[in-house]
Amino acid sequence: MSLFISDAYAQAAGAATDPFVSLLPIIFIFALMYFMVIRPQMKKAKEHRAMVEALAKGDEIITNGGIAGRIIDLGDVFATVEIAPNTQIKVQRSAIGTVLPKGTLKTV
């Protein structure tokens, strides 16, 4: 009967691997994600927060929606922006995307 079926032998046990070595690829991927995605995003958010805190009356801004105007009043949460003569809107301070150099709106 052993003509068609060979005898089965137990294989030798493999070398024990260090658990740290098996976690190394995961640690590497997390470190890569931190330096490529998370850290730059945190830096950008910090810069935006500083820009919003430094807003003052008379600053020329562009909102995240693309509306350009001049700040005429600032509150804790909202800013009143004049987008045309006698036309004012209120926007959230966090919705202000860019502060323009003085005089930019006159050239537009």
Q: Domain span at residue 101?
A: 56-108
Q: Which of 34, 25, 35, 76 is nearest to 55 (CA)?
A: 76
**63 and 48, same structural domain?**
no
Residues (pLDDT < 50) of the chain are none
For the entire predicted model, the pTM comes to 0.71
**102 and 79, same structural domain?**
yes
**62 and 37, same structural domain?**
no
**104 and 66, same structural domain?**
yes
**72 and 48, same structural domain?**
no
Q: Which of 95, 68, 65 is nearest to 81 (CA)?
A: 68
**93 and 67, same structural domain?**
yes
**Which contacts (CB < 8 Å, 24+ apart) does range 15-18 have?**
none
Q: Is residue 98 part of a domain?
A: yes
pLDDT 10s digits, 68-87:
999 999 999 999 999 999 99
**95 and 50, same structural domain?**
no
The whole-angstrom separation of Cα 61 and Cα 108 is 13
pLDDT at 16: 62
Evaluate whether 62 touches 95 at the Cβ level (below 8 Å): no
